[in-house]
Amino acid sequence: MTTIVVARHGETPWNREGRMQGWAPVPLNDTGREQADALGAWLADRYAFDAVHASDLLRTKETTERVADHLAHEPSDASYERAWRERDIGVYQGLTYQDVFERYPEFGLGEAAAAAADRVPDSGESLVDVHDRVTDRFDQLLAEGGTRLVVTHGGPVYMLLSHVTGGDIETAVLDNHIDNCGVTVFEGDEPRVVDRNVREWAD
């Protein structure tokens, strides 16, 4: 049976400051590194992964390297892919969520942004664009089968939840929350959600 385990990256300074990261090369902070180590140990006790995939952005690469240290995989064996990147928020990258919510609500995280899923920020991409690239790659992994780990970002997890549950992007963005290193699990060739934002590794 196909199992795809999807984890968000560990905490960064911009997460702590409430800034929109997009594709910025933001590293993990001390908390994020501790989270990634704990996640790796927890995953190693529960899964034997056939392959590890990750976003090629800095914060996900650092998370993946620390997680892989606990698995039967070398960090260099992971497949780092643009398909798993967070949304490119363009000119709004680095602004706080509060600034964007107040000045450019269609590109924040609230109802206005969810309802404007097809809007493209300057030099960025729409939520629909993110949905399409993430779900295309997910469907490829389903076809390949096996047990796979994907280390990505909050936005792509929302898109996968929308894709698998048959819901719309707006509902997925508004009704879900994914913590740093939160784990969401999809099982089956016709996948279903079996776990969502699990943080047992933190116990």
| Alpha carbons 117 and 14: distance in angstroms, whole number | 24
Predicted confidence at residue 82, as pLDDT, reads: 98
Task: Confirm if 198 and 179 have CB atoms less than 8 A apart.
Answer: no
β-strands 147-152, 51-55 pairing = parallel
> Can 86 be counted among the known catalytic residues?
yes
| Domain range enclosing 84 | 3-197
> Can 200 be counted among the known catalytic residues?
no
Do the domain assignments include residue 202? no
Do the domain assignments include residue 203? no
Do the domain assignments include residue 24? yes
Do the domain assignments include residue 116? yes
| Alpha carbons 197 and 203: distance in angstroms, whole number | 14
In sequence order, what DSSP letters do the residues of 154-174 get, joined into one string? HHHHHHHHHHHHT--HHHHHH
Predicted confidence at residue 108, as pLDDT, reads: 82
Query: How buried is residue 155: exposed, middle or buried, by Cβ count under 10 Å (0-12/13-18/19+)?
Result: buried
Whether the CA torsion 177, 180, 185, 190 is positive or negative: it is positive
Whether the CA torsion 137, 22, 20, 90 is positive or negative: it is negative
Of residues 11, 65, 86, 125, which has the active-site annotation? 86
**R_g over Cα of the chain:** 16
Residue 4: which region, alpha, beta or left (left: phi > 0; alpha: psi -120 to 50)? Answer: beta
Do the domain assignments include residue 28? yes
SS3 call for 191 = coil
Predicted confidence at residue 72, as pLDDT, reads: 86
| Alpha carbons 176 and 82: distance in angstroms, whole number | 23
Task: Confirm if 52 and 26 have CB atoms less than 8 A apart.
Answer: no
Q: What is the pLDDT along the chain (203 residues), one digit of tens a residue?
A: 899 999 999 999 999 999 999 999 999 999 999 999 999 999 999 999 999 999 999 999 999 999 999 998 888 889 999 999 999 999 999 999 999 989 998 988 788 888 889 999 999 999 999 999 999 999 999 999 999 999 999 999 999 999 999 999 999 889 999 999 999 999 999 999 999 999 999 98
CATH code (residue 144): 3.40.50.1240
In the chain, how many domains are there? 1
Do the domain assignments include residue 45? yes
β-strands 192-198, 79-81 pairing = unpaired
Please give, one letter per residue, the 3-state secondary structure of 70-139. CCCCCHHHCEEEHHHCCCCCHHHCCCEHHHHHHHCHHHCCCHHHHHCCCCCCCCCCCHHHHHHHHHHHHH
